Amino acid sequence: MKRQITLAVLLLLCISSFSQQALWGGQNIISPEINSDNTVTFSLYAPNAAKVQVTGDFLPAKKTDTPYGKQDIPGLIDLKAGKDGLWKYTTPEPLKPELYSYSFIVDEFKTTDPNNVYLIRDVASVTNIFLVGGGHAGLYRVNEVPHGTVSRRWYYSPGLNMTRRLTIYTPAGYETSKKNYPVLYLLHGMGGDEEAWIALGRTAQILDNLIAQGKATPMIVVMPNGNVSQEAAPGESAQGLYKPGMQLPKTMEGSMETSFPDVVKFIDSEYRTVAKKSGRAIAGLSMGGFHSLHISKQYPDMFDYIGLFSAAIIQNKDARSPIYANFEGKLKIQFSKSPKLYWIGIGKADFLYKANEDYRKLLDKNGYKYTYYESEEGHIWKNWRIYLSEFVPLLFK
């Protein structure tokens, strides 16, 4: 202990190589910057670029021709070159509270923002995010409230003969209380996995905040992997760091639904749950809505609360699983047992709007009660976060 170094020298060392190894190339730029009036400024240092653009869901979507027909694609906006190679763009209007994602396009090359470390993977794409707080987006912030625990845990599924990964949220106080808690099973869409709801869906923040506000009953949230051919999210299984894709060999063919009681049994045996119908909810987005529909119908005594978020209520006529047989008969049994909440949410621009409308007609025709929530826009995470925020306060009351 012979060396005496002042704090200044120490900090200088820190900045150079004391740091972990990747600080070089760092730039002293804040991007994006949420201005006090909620306009947002994007900045990028690119002295050799001829053109820099930004795209993201903060821009109005445009109907665009694609190989799959007209689709809503976010627009592009040019950044303006300043001296010193710093490009900038400020939105002309304040942005509404929301969690947004965006990318830069430098001379036609789509890239992440090197000054923003907050990134989210959605299937095979990684984009930067930013949060304009207030309104419903206040629920997506980490606030000064008690925080639940988020665990990644593995369970064995006898039905699939696989060991599989789960994300589990337990509410603040779970570990020290002696109480039993109700459970929401929350399912992702095609291309997603057990990371989707916690990352893109802001589940932990929404639950922490709703519980702290007294608007939601403290509950456990279980986010399983809905791809039966996968043990875990990309990068989290022995498959290694492969490139994720949408098309999985086994999907929506019945085995996710058939094996679902394995998840419930595991949770009921390992956590202090309210292990009965009135203590269980199931909800999912898109493919996860399809799963929630079929699971809750197949096991009519398992869930008292069902949420279909932009549900893929479409039939795979190649699927031979008995899960899909006798659809209307099973629905009749399910509704004869009076589930406490059957909740349907869909956006007006969703390509599944018609499928959901047809399904509601079927429910109406039979006098089956449900709660309907119709939003703007389409098949996007913005809607799924809103649906979760609307759905959760209705549970376990």
| Contact positions with a copy of itself (CB under 8 A) in 265-284 | 270
Shortest Å distance, C-beta 24 to a copy of itself: 6
Q: Which of 335, 373, 381 is nearest to 356 (CA)?
A: 373
Q: Point out which span in 61-69, 274-282, 300-308, 386-394 binds a copy of itself (CB under 8 A).
A: 61-69
Under rule CB under 8 A, residue 351 binds a copy of itself: yes
Under rule CB under 8 A, residue 325 binds a copy of itself: no
Under rule CB under 8 A, residue 191 binds a copy of itself: yes
CA gap 284, 197 in Å, rounded: 10
- Choice from 119, 325, 369, 372 touching a copy of itself (CB under 8 A): 119
Q: Identity (one letter) of the amino acid at 175?
A: E
- Choice from 79, 121, 299, 347 touching a copy of itself (CB under 8 A): 121
Structure token digits, residue 355: 């499928």
Shortest Å distance, C-beta 397 to a copy of itself: 27
Residues 6+ away with beta carbon under 8 Å from 150: 167, 168, 169, 198, 204
CA gap 310, 312 in Å, rounded: 7
Under rule CB under 8 A, residue 363 binds a copy of itself: no
Under rule CB under 8 A, residue 223 binds a copy of itself: no
Nearer to a copy of itself, 10 or 333 (CB): 10
Q: Identity (one letter) of the amino acid at 270?
A: E
- Choice from 94, 97, 159, 244 touching a copy of itself (CB under 8 A): 244
Phi-psi region of 110 (alpha: psi -120 to 50; beta: other; left: phi over 0): beta
- Give the contact letters, 9-38, x = binds to a copy of itself (CB under 8 A), - = no: -xxxxxxxxxxxxxxxxx---x--------
Under rule CB under 8 A, residue 321 binds a copy of itself: no
CA gap 283, 60 in Å, rounded: 29
**Are 307 and 340 contacting, i.e. CB atoms less than 8 angstroms apart?**
no
Helix (H, G, I), strand (E, B) or coil at 152: strand
Q: Which residues of 358-368 are buried (b: 16+ CB within 10 A; e: fewer)?
A: ebbeebeeeeb
CA gap 238, 121 in Å, rounded: 20
CA gap 98, 38 in Å, rounded: 11
Shortest Å distance, C-beta 323 to a copy of itself: 13
Contacts to a copy of itself from residues 145-174, by CB under 8 A: 146-147, 149-154, 163, 165, 172
Helix (H, G, I), strand (E, B) or coil at 8: helix
What is the four-CA torsion angle of 381, 264, 258, 326, rounded to 10 degrees?
Answer: -80
Contacts to a copy of itself from residues 198-217, by CB under 8 A: 200
Under rule CB under 8 A, residue 6 binds a copy of itself: yes
Under rule CB under 8 A, residue 243 binds a copy of itself: yes
Shortest Å distance, C-beta 278 to a copy of itself: 26
- Choice from 184, 196, 206, 221 touching a copy of itself (CB under 8 A): 196
Residues 6+ away with beta carbon under 8 Å from 325: none
Under rule CB under 8 A, residue 101 binds a copy of itself: yes
- Choice from 62, 134, 135, 142 touching a copy of itself (CB under 8 A): 142
Under rule CB under 8 A, residue 3 binds a copy of itself: yes
Structure token digits, residue 73: 């694609």
Under rule CB under 8 A, residue 224 binds a copy of itself: no
**Are 324 and 293 contacting, i.e. CB atoms less than 8 angstroms apart?**
no
Query: Count residues contacting a copy of itself (CB under 8 A)?
Result: 121
Nearer to a copy of itself, 102 or 343 (CB): 102
- Choice from 43, 53, 115, 258 touching a copy of itself (CB under 8 A): 115
